[in-house]
Structure 1
Amino acid sequence: MTAAAQQNQKRTRRWPVFETTPPHFAAQCRNGQVSVTGDTTCSLGNEYETTSGRPAGVFASWSWDGETLVAEVDPFGYFNLFFFANGKTVGVSPSLLQLIADGADTTLDHRALAVFYRLGLFINDDTPFKNIRVLPPGGRLTWRNGEFTVTGGPTVPQVREISRQGAVDGFIDLARQSMTRILNAWTDDIVLPLSGGRDSRHILLEMQHLGRLPKTCVTFHHGGRELNSEARAARAVCESVGVSHTILGHPRSRSRDILRTLILTSLCSDEHAQMMPLHDYLADQPCAALDGIAGDILTNPDDSAEEYFQLASRGDYAGIAQRMIAGHGRVISQASWGRGAGPLYAPGRDDEAIDYIGTAIQEYASAPDPYQAFWFWSRTRREIGLVPTSMFGSAAAIYCPYLDPEFVEFGLSLPYRVTRDQQLHNDAIAKAYPAHRHVPFQEGFRNLPHTRPNPFHKITSALDGISMLLAIEPEKPFKEAADFLRGSKELHRSSANIYRMYALCLESLDAEKAKRLLALNARLHASRSRDLVTDTYLPRKLAETTNGI
């Protein structure tokens, strides 16, 4: 890394998210004396400065000077830094399980869990436990002599007066500004996870515009060598740009990936298991990765946005909450059930969850689009935000171009009328990079029929699923194994397995079990498959160089 880049970048410490003992700090005050364990100083993530001197990036830090603990996170709180604090004890860590291993209180937060089982995420600063929280956006925790304060929180943007064309131009210019800063901050190799959608494609095309292509683009899917529509769209844009494209398509142990993901995301998400191939790939690459998080929500691609905007204009925030819960329930449920995991794992709490979610949405009533603002500060921050810090945390560094402060403020302040048609990002990409506008997105490709799976696949999957359930050491192992084999009449198999494993991880969770889960994740990482790549595209010039022509 050049001297200029080192000056621009403040944090480059890699936190191996698969290690047995994650970074942590804990202190206890007794009789006027303080005993401490863990790292007294720690900086995590990647922070770099904007031209105005404002911090950018996804990062966290804490320091203990012998009397005072100060812990902080990035301005948008996308680095989930967990903490527990009361009059006598305090602890911070990027791993919730590590805090429990350090002795944090494990009293369950039933309201937060009622929301999780209905939406698939935690909102505000909640976790599964009453006394373990995450620092809020721009959060700062100060603890001294048994007294603590926490400051920070989301901001509610005011509407910006701007034309549609002005919004398109602003989107192009601010994304370019953000990418320029990142490429100045990181001068070594970059791996770009590339989907079939807008966000990562925009990043790739901007890298080409700035004259610095990634080492390779990487797309994961689970269809073996038969590329699905997303992989085919990603391949098409790589061919158009002339950049290497790597496909990770080998069949995986779904149960193993689910369990690893639950531990990596600190029991705060029901998603991301599909990203484990990329997680394992990045672990063996000395490269930074770029994540397109937040690009979608800042340009309103959500098909429910219009309905929710109308409900918000009438002040019906509970109505938005009800529809969000119903939508999530339909996605994870069998057609005959449709009600999701809430009635199964947190029964009788529908009204409580709806009221809590509705109140959280109402906090953004003055925003140009209350639903967009809520989703940015909740699902994108609390669930999708676990991707850069946990799922991609195996990379040498992570950068999130759409979380540049000026870009976020711009996106959240756009009037709904300029994002209403859901074409803002399409228009920006087409205008900024006309040479590639002919390349379709994922919707322009169809999935090819899959070959029939190995006849022993179901048997091996069942055995592996039981193995992972037993690795959690449930209180009733035979019952859990039988229930797993029986399947669920209410939830799709994958969702049923996620929530079953999640509940088992929570079951009787204490310090010793937390340590076992962390050690289990480290063992599963160590035994991961290195056979990941199923297909590689090399542009002609690179292929000639590689072959020595």
Structure 2
Amino acid sequence: MTATLKCGTPGDFIIKVSVLNGHVEFTGLPDGFYGYSLGDDADADGVFVRWAFQNNRLQLSTDRLGLYPIYYLQHENQLMLSNSIELIRQHQPLTLDTEAVAIFFRLGFYLGQRTAFKGLCRPNGQLQVSVSAGGLELSISRPTQSQVDNSDFEQQYCDLMHHALQPLVGQTAALYMPLTGGKDSRHIFLSLHQAGLKPDCCYTVSVLAPHYNDDQQVAQQLCQRTALMHQALAAETKLISSEQRKNLLTNFETRDHSWATPVARYLDTRPAGIVLDGFGGDVLSQSSIVTPEMHSAYHAEDWERLVKLIARPNQYNNSWLTEAYQDFIIDERVLAEQLLAELKSFTGTVNPVAQFYFWNRSRRTIAISSIRFMTGRSLAYFPFMQQQLVDFLFSLPPALYFSGSFHSRVLQRLAGDLATVPFAASEQPGDTLSWWQWSRLVLAVSWELLNNRVIRPRLRIKGVLQALASITDRKQLVSFVHFYRKLSYLGQLVRYVD
């Protein structure tokens, strides 16, 4: 039986609860449901947070993977929860967790439950909260890995994706399909085609030169062959302001995805609907980040080698920081200790390094962009995260995962007459900044550099001169901003807590 898709309230919330002398004091909406669920029971599938405050008792739970971004501050029997760090900051002054930020600066993601702010936690699994006159109970858990059927993995993958899309049958809300030249969106697209489900619109955003891809051309071919509407979106050109807006909306959890600003703008012009997001397919099926070398090092307990494979050197970025902000350079021993503690928490899983990246990187830095930034007024729906499918992927044998061809073979089964449509290759140059766009971006970059106090003064000037020198090759300004975004993130974060 197919579960019913239930969509929650859009927007942000904050709730506060405390227990004093046997009395529960609660502030906020007494009932809340954000995200989406597939069913009503306590173990419902989906990506959500929901709570109810009744009869002097609060019960709150999130989805089983903790995909829906929620944060909590706890002090003894007082608890504050929100999906927005900005709302939390309006109620409680925040200070930076410099060690956590330093790890983020090095790795590009936070570890475990840590965030950029002291005491503010992002649950690393399903959060369950119960508050009554007797006190406050908070627990966090992750699903145990199940055994996978060893027969015909490729067909199982096809069948499970088909099942994951069934809750969309009969939906009256508009369906939107972000379509690239990669495997994850292709998997969803082909499964929709097989099921007779037609998105109201597919869309693809371009990139800026010197970056290359032919995603738009590939997506247009797929849509032409299936008589679907395709919207090509120009690349974002206001790279500084879009980066800063993205940081705020994603609660400073990612340094990526500001390129998706045109997508959010486009979806804001369309009727609110459901966005079919390919989150999780890559890291759990056929990742370019998780390598066989990492897997071998983990099982050989060669921890020094594994840390080196995960934490690449970052000396050039470090050299830009002023003496006052050297705390944002993580000590190598501390980094190794923190990394190993988190890596070893996945001992006993089928593919521990893939699990490490899923729970710490993908779940924290990628899913949040889909939920809070990329979808405009619409709701992100994650087919790869439906319970049976994600449990299957969690248990995928390493030999298949590291084969480099498993997901491709699955797509060959699904493709039918669309098998001749290629995947993207890095052949098509991205959009080029116009002179007006370049001039505007140079001014924004220069202003940002000169006011970024985490950077050494002489390097601020050097950065401005480097930006101005791109007048002879506008692509170089895009490359510089791509490098600079890590330093821009730190500067914005420091200003945020002033």
* Shared fold, TM over 0.5: yes
Q: Indicate which of 496, 506, 515 corresponds to 2:493.
A: 506
**Which residue pairs with 2:329 in the alignment?**
347
**Which residue pairs with 1:454 in the alignment?**
434
**Which residue pairs with 2:444 in the alignment?**
464
Contact 1:137 1:152 in 2 (8 A): yes
CA distance in 2, matches of 1:355, 1:446: 42
**Which residue pairs with 1:153 in the alignment?**
141
Q: Secondary structure at the match of 1:326?
A: coil
**Which residue pairs with 2:83 in the alignment?**
94
Q: Secondary structure at the match of 1:131?
A: coil
Q: Percent identity?
A: 19
**Which residue pairs with 1:182 in the alignment?**
168
Q: How does 1:218-297 map to 2 (within 5 A)?
A: 218-223=203-208, 228-286=213-271, 287-297=273-283
Q: Secondary structure at the match of 2:435?
A: coil
Q: Tell me whether 459-468 or 281-290 shows the greater mean CA deviation.
A: 459-468
One-letter amino acid matched to 1:218: Y
**Which residue pairs with 2:111 in the alignment?**
123
Q: Does the alignment pair 1:211 with 2:196? A: yes
**1:49-95 C-alpha deviation (Å, 9 max, x unpaired):** 39x99522211123333633333211111111111111253211111
Q: Does the alignment pair 1:315 with 2:331? A: no
Q: How does 1:517-532 map to 2 (within 5 A)?
A: none
**Which residue pairs with 2:35 in the alignment?**
45
Q: Indicate which of 96, 103, 111 corresponds to 2:99.
A: 111
Q: Does the alignment pair 1:367 with 2:329? A: no
**Which residue pairs with 1:442 in the alignment?**
424
Contact 2:235 2:431 in 1 (8 A): no
Unaligned runs of 5+ in 2: 468-477
CA distance in 2, matches of 1:392, 1:402: 18
Relative to 1, partners in 2 of residues 1:227 and 1:499: Cα closer, same or farther, differing over 3 Å? closer
Q: Tell me whether 359-368 or 493-502 shows the greater mean CA deviation.
A: 493-502
Q: Indicate which of 392, 399, 413 corresponds to 2:381.
A: 399
Q: Secondary structure at the match of 2:360?
A: helix
Relative to 1, partners in 2 of residues 1:347 and 1:475: Cα closer, same or farther, differing over 3 Å? closer
Q: Secondary structure at the match of 1:430?
A: helix
**How much does 1:111 deviate?**
3.1
**1:456-513 C-alpha deviation (Å, 9 max, x unpaired):** 443310223456689x99799x99975762569xx96224542333223332645xx7
CA distance in 2, matches of 1:109, 1:144: 31
Q: Does the alignment pair 1:357 with 2:339? A: yes
Q: Alignment RMSD, CA only? A: 3.5
Unaligned runs of 5+ in 1: 16-21, 514-549
Q: How does 1:475-494 map to 2 (within 5 A)?
A: 485-486=464-465, 493-494=480-481
CA distance in 1, matches of 2:449, 2:7: 38
One-letter amino acid matched to 2:14: H
Relative to 1, partners in 2 of residues 1:239 and 1:221: Cα closer, same or farther, differing over 3 Å? same
**How much does 1:325 deviate?**
1.5
Relative to 1, partners in 2 of residues 1:213 and 1:348: Cα closer, same or farther, differing over 3 Å? closer
CA distance in 1, matches of 2:8, 2:352: 35
Q: Secondary structure at the match of 1:422?
A: coil
Q: Secondary structure at the match of 1:10?
A: strand
Contact 2:48 2:62 in 1 (8 A): yes
Contact 1:40 1:64 in 2 (8 A): yes
Q: Does the alignment pair 1:427 with 2:431? A: no
CA distance in 1, matches of 2:442, 2:237: 13
Q: Indicate which of 380, 397, 415 corresponds to 1:415.
A: 397
CA distance in 2, matches of 1:487, 1:349: 30
Q: Secondary structure at the match of 1:133?
A: coil
Q: Tell me whether 478-487 or 302-311 shows the greater mean CA deviation.
A: 478-487
Contact 2:154 2:409 in 1 (8 A): yes
CA distance in 2, matches of 1:385, 1:450: 26
One-letter amino acid matched to 1:458: W
CA distance in 2, matches of 1:469, 1:101: 28
Larger RCO, structure (CA 8 Å, separation 6 or more): 1
Q: Tell me whether 86-95 or 146-155 shows the greater mean CA deviation.
A: 146-155
One-letter amino acid matched to 1:293: F
CA distance in 1, matches of 2:48, 2:176: 20
**How much does 1:392 deviate?**
3.1
**1:11-66 C-alpha deviation (Å, 9 max, x unpaired):** 33222xxxxxx31112456677665543332210111139x995222111233336
CA distance in 1, matches of 2:454, 2:101: 21
**How much does 1:344 deviate?**
6.2
Relative to 1, partners in 2 of residues 1:29 and 1:153: Cα closer, same or farther, differing over 3 Å? closer
**How much does 1:154 deviate?**
2.3
